[in-house]
């Protein structure tokens, strides 16, 4: 089963890497919240990027666990919030999410929105994200997610 999770993550990153614009930047870091896990970002254009999360939740149910895999396309709106020369970019996006748990596999849509800030003098990115999760398989279900992320930009 762990091998399946690894293959899904590698496939998501490979698809993003293959479609990346030349000279695009990659970011890797952590996402703290619900879910907590690893976060990867890949710039497609100045105001568009791909966002991937490989997260986990070991607190669910009786001895429950969940591995959450997300892949999102996100679009930013630079210049919307400029505070003392610092651009805090609001974004929204759409993507897919798979939740693999002891109860089974749920697959659905993830609709993220939030704020993104990239430091000028350091290769760091901070972002605050909230999201609506709409599971479609095996049954329709709704959930919310959100947290704070930090990534090192390569």
Report d(CA 27, CA 138) in Å as an integer. Answer: 33
C-beta of residue 154 within 8 angstroms of C-beta of residue 124? no
> Domains in the chain, ordered, with CATH?
2-153 (2.40.160.20)
Q: Which pLDDT tens digits describe the chain residue by residue (154 residues)?
A: 555 554 454 454 444 444 444 555 899 999 999 889 999 999 999 899 999 999 987 766 556 788 999 999 999 999 999 988 899 999 999 999 999 888 889 999 999 999 999 998 899 999 999 999 999 999 999 999 999 999 999 8
- Please state the pTM of the whole predicted model: 0.80
* pLDDT tens digit sequence for 31-75: 999 889 999 999 999 899 999 999 987 766 556 788 999 999 999
Residues 6+ apart with CB under 8 A from 56: 35, 36, 37, 65, 66, 67, 68
pLDDT of res. 17 = 45
Report d(CA 42, CA 143) in Å as an integer. Answer: 26
């Amino acid at each position: 089963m762990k091998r399946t999770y690894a293959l899904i993550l590698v496939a998501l990153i490979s698809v993003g890497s293959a479609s990346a614009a030349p000279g695009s930047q990659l970011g890797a870091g952590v996402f703290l919240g619900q879910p907590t896990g690893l976060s990867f970002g890949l710039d497609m254009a100045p105001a568009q990027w791909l966002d991937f999360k490989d997260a986990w939740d070991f607190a669910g149910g009786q001895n429950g666990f969940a591995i959450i895999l997300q892949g999102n396309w996100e679009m930013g709106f630079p210049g919307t919030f400029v505070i003392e020369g610092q651009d805090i970019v609001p974004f929204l996006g759409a993507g897919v999410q798979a939740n693999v748990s002891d109860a089974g596999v749920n697959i659905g849509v993830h609709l993220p929105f939030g704020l993104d800030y990239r430091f000028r003098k350091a290769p760091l990115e901070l972002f605050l994200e909230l999201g609506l999760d709409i599971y479609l398989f095996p049954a329709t279900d709704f959930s919310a997610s959100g947290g704070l992320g930090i990534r090192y930009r390569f």
